[in-house]
Structure 1
Amino acid sequence: MFQKVIARRRRWLQDLPARTALKLFNRPRVRIILGRRYGEALHIHQPALPHLPEMDAKIVAALEKDGIYVTTIEALDLANGDAVMGEARALAEGFAGEAHERTANGEVFIIVPSNRVVRYPTIYLLGLQDRLLNIAENYIGLPPAYDGVTINYTVADGREVATRKWHRDREDRRMLKVAVYLHDVDESAGPFQMIKRHDRMQNDRDGFNYELADHARLAERLGPSYADDVISCCGPAGTVIFTDTARFFHRGKPATGRDRMAIFYSYFAQNPRHPFLCERTGMQRGDVVRLTTPLPQRQQRAALWRQRLSVALRLIPSATV
Structure 2
Amino acid sequence: MTRDQTARWLRDLPARSALKLSNQRHVRLWLGNRHEEALHRHRPAVPGLSAVDAALVDTLDKQGVCVTTLDRLGLPGSQALLEQAGALAEAFAGEAHAQCRAGKDFIIVPPADIVRNPEIFRWGLQDRLLDIAEAYIGLPVAYDGVAINYTVADGRAISTRKWHRDWEDRRMLKVAVYLHDVDAEGGPFQQIARPGTPQSDRDGFNYDLADDVALERMLGARLDRDIHSCEGPRGTVVFCDTARLFHRGKPATRRDRAALFYSYFANPPRHPFLCERTGLARRDITEMARTLPRRQRDAALWRRRLSLLLRLIPPAGL
Cα deviation 1:188-245 (Å, max 9, x = unaligned):
1000001012325111111000000123432243222332100111101100000000
**Range with greater deviation from structure 2 (225-234 or 134-143):** 225-234
**Range with greater deviation from structure 2 (209-218 or 100-109):** 209-218
Which residue of structure 2 aligns with residue 97 of structure 1?
94
Superposition deviation, residue 42 in structure 1: 0.5
1:259-278 equivalence runs, <5 A: 259-278=256-275
**Range with greater deviation from structure 2 (22-31 or 222-231):** 222-231
Instruction: Give 2:58's match in structure 1, choosing from 51, 55, 61.
Output: 61
Cα deviation 1:233-275 (Å, max 9, x = unaligned):
1101100000000001000000011100110000000111100
Give the whole-Å Cα distance in 2 for the aligned partners of 1:62 and 1:141.
15
Which residue of structure 1 aligns with residue 2 of structure 2?
5
Which residue of structure 1 aligns with residue 15 of structure 2?
18
Which residue of structure 2 aligns with residue 283 of structure 1?
280
Q: Could you state the TM-score of these two structures normalised by the residue count of structure 1? A: 0.97
1:176 and 1:267 in contact (8 A); partners too: yes
Alignment: residue pair count? 318
Query: Could you list the runs of 4 or more consecutive aligned residues of structure 1 that deviate by over 3 angstroms after TM superposition?
Result: none
Pair 1:204-2:201 in alignment: yes
Cα deviation 1:34-90 (Å, max 9, x = unaligned):
000001100110110001001100110000000011000011111110001000000
1:208-247 equivalence runs, <5 A: 208-247=205-244
Superposition deviation, residue 176 in structure 1: 0.2
- Could you say what the CA RMSD is over the residues aligned between the two structures, in angstroms? 1.1
Pair 1:255-2:241 in alignment: no
Pair 1:190-2:187 in alignment: yes
User: Which residue identity does 1:213 align to in structure 2?
Assistant: A
Give the whole-Å Cα distance in 1 for the aligned partners of 2:196 and 2:22.
19
Question: Per the alignment, in what secondary structure is the counterpart of residue 76 of structure 2?
Answer: coil
Q: Could you state the TM-score of these two structures normalised by the residue count of structure 2? A: 0.98
Give the whole-Å Cα distance in 1 for the aligned partners of 2:23 and 2:147.
29
Question: Per the alignment, in what secondary structure is the counterpart of residue 294 of structure 1?
Answer: coil
Give the whole-Å Cα distance in 1 for the aligned partners of 2:3 and 2:216.
37
Query: What are the ranges of 5 or more consecutive residues in structure 2 without an aligned counterpart?
Result: none
Question: Per the alignment, in what secondary structure is the counterpart of residue 146 of structure 2?
Answer: strand
1:201 and 1:221 in contact (8 A); partners too: no
**Range with greater deviation from structure 2 (185-194 or 208-217):** 208-217
Instruction: Give 1:176's match in structure 2, choosing from 173, 176, 185.
Output: 173
User: Which residue identity does 2:282 align to in structure 1?
Assistant: R
Give the whole-Å Cα distance in 2 for the aligned partners of 1:6 and 1:226.
39
Give the whole-Å Cα distance in 2 for the aligned partners of 1:259 and 1:130.
32
Percent identity over paired residues: 61
Question: Per the alignment, in what secondary structure is the counterpart of residue 248 of structure 2?
Answer: strand
User: Which residue identity does 2:172 align to in structure 1?
Assistant: M
Which residue of structure 2 aligns with residue 144 of structure 1?
141
User: Which residue identity does 2:185 align to in structure 1?
Assistant: S
